[in-house]
Amino acid sequence: MAIKSFEIDIDGKKEIIEYEDDLLFGELEAIVNISVDLSDVTKPKVDLPKYRMNILTKVIRKAPFPIDDATSIRNLKAKTAKQIISEVMKDYPLMRFLEDWMVTFVGTQEATSSLTESTTSLQKVSDGTKDK
């Protein structure tokens, strides 16, 4: 885990945001688990606001607002919040983690295609051909 930082403009003042670029496996699993409903794997339901908020409150380490308080993040101006989300989500794209989950569920493409290759064979007929 490394700490990354970037600068944003909040009310005309330059501020530094620092965040962790990697979470513990269990922390990430918990966030994805509460943000994604896979009760029907053909139609997963994703709660993006919940995912983004949980990631932000978990990974931000330094900011000009309370870092573990979802309410303080919700009360940021939209432009400021968008800048923060854009930077942080570069390291936490939900699609990458959903793909990991689906590989666990269905396997990799190479594994599933090689396991499901079929060969057609005909059994030898023992009766032969009959003449009339």
Average pLDDT over residues 105-117: 54
pLDDT at 98: 76
By mean pLDDT, which of 49-53, 96-100, 119-123 is the weakest? 119-123
Residue 125's φ and ψ, nearest 5 degrees, are -85, 130
3-state SS string for 88-128? HCCCCCHHHHHHHHHHHHHCCHHHHHHHCCCCCCCCCCCCC
Confidence of residue 112 (pLDDT cuts 50, 70, 90): very low
pTM for this entry? 0.73
Tens of pLDDT, residues 18-51: 999 999 999 999 999 999 887 887 788 999 999 9
